[in-house]
Amino acid sequence: MPTTLAPAKVNLFLHVGEVQANGRHPLDSLVMFAGPEAADRVSVETADKLTLNVTGPRSAGLEIDERNLVLRAANALLEASGKMRGAALTLDKHLPVAAGIGGGSADAGATLRLLRDLWSLDADLVQQVAVPLGGDVPVALTRRTALMQGEGERVLVQEEMPTLPAVLVNPGVDCPTGAVFKAFDAAGAGAGFSELARIPRFETATTMIDWLESQRNDLEPVAIDLVPVIGKVLAAMSELPQARLARMSGSGATCFALFDTRDAADVAAEDIAATYPDWWVRATGLGDTA
């Protein structure tokens, strides 16, 4: 059964502009993807009709109708291809939901990749289908380190970037994207937005983290106001031994800490998991996911 990873997406920085007439926001964000330690899995089998089965430790409460982005992506691709096809999809859910790490988008991207191969579809058609599904879906389709711009539809892949040792932490509290952006708009934020022309090249994780310290996540302050435990997570992660940088990913509530070495990240993950056993904690390497 063909199976592919749907890895967590981490916004290493996230610059957000003012809300536009269509209700969306211009974005400028450098994203990397986690390894298999922080990923869902999507599988597919040939079938007469389109179906979805959801399994895994984070499957409870997930819809298996058109509200699920996996089925929405599959149906959108089916419609765009103009042919009657079927597939039996299985989503093995491990990532927390409404967590700022693009879990649903990762699942949709994985679905599009699998169906592209199963149905022998043109890659350009699949890319076109990805764009209206959501701002994170086009980059999730690639699973490559990339600069996301526009409303997420402009994906500028960044070659030869170092892998960043990281710890991901989610406190188990939903942080709905819509509410965070609504609070961002109410605060009148985003007026100074501008896109970065390019990302520097880095030889090591250490030099890349040095540069990332000068960046920010524009949604972090309003997310902390809405979900105060995010501030607690960031404080705890900042105190981890050898943590170089702690920041929220996306619209929250997942946060990440970056380290110079994977050994340091592994030790830090054990420490924070022991202190906060109810939190979701994963040590991983951020980069491209093959």
Q: Which two tokens mark 38?
A: 């922080």
Does 103 show up as a binding residue in the annotation? yes
Is 98 annotated to bind ligand? yes
| Selection from 286, 207, 276, 205 nearest residue 240 by Cα | 276
Is 99 annotated to bind ligand? yes
Full DSSP string of 133-147: G-TTHHHHHHTS-EE
Q: Is 104 annotated as a binding residue?
A: yes
Residues contacting residue 218 through CB under 8 Å, at least 6 positions apart: 14, 15, 16, 184, 189, 190
97 is in an annotated binding site: yes
Q: How far is CA 28 from the centre of its chain?
A: 14
- 61 belongs to an annotated ligand binding site: no
Whether 286 contacts 271, CB under 8 Å: no
185 part of the active site: no
Contact (CB, 8 A) for 43 and 92: yes
Q: How far is the C-alpha of 87 from the C-alpha of 91, rounded, in Å? A: 13
Q: Is 101 annotated as a binding residue?
A: yes
Check: CB of residue 94 under 8 Å from CB of residue 58.
yes
Would you say 106 is a known binding-site residue?
Answer: yes
Set 40, 136, 218, 288: catalytic member = 136
Q: Is 182 a catalytic residue?
A: no
192 is in an annotated binding site: no
Of 9, 93, 218, 288, the active-site residue reads 9
Binding-site residues sit at 96-106
Binding-site residues for ATP sit at 96-106
- The catalytic site residues sit at 9, 136
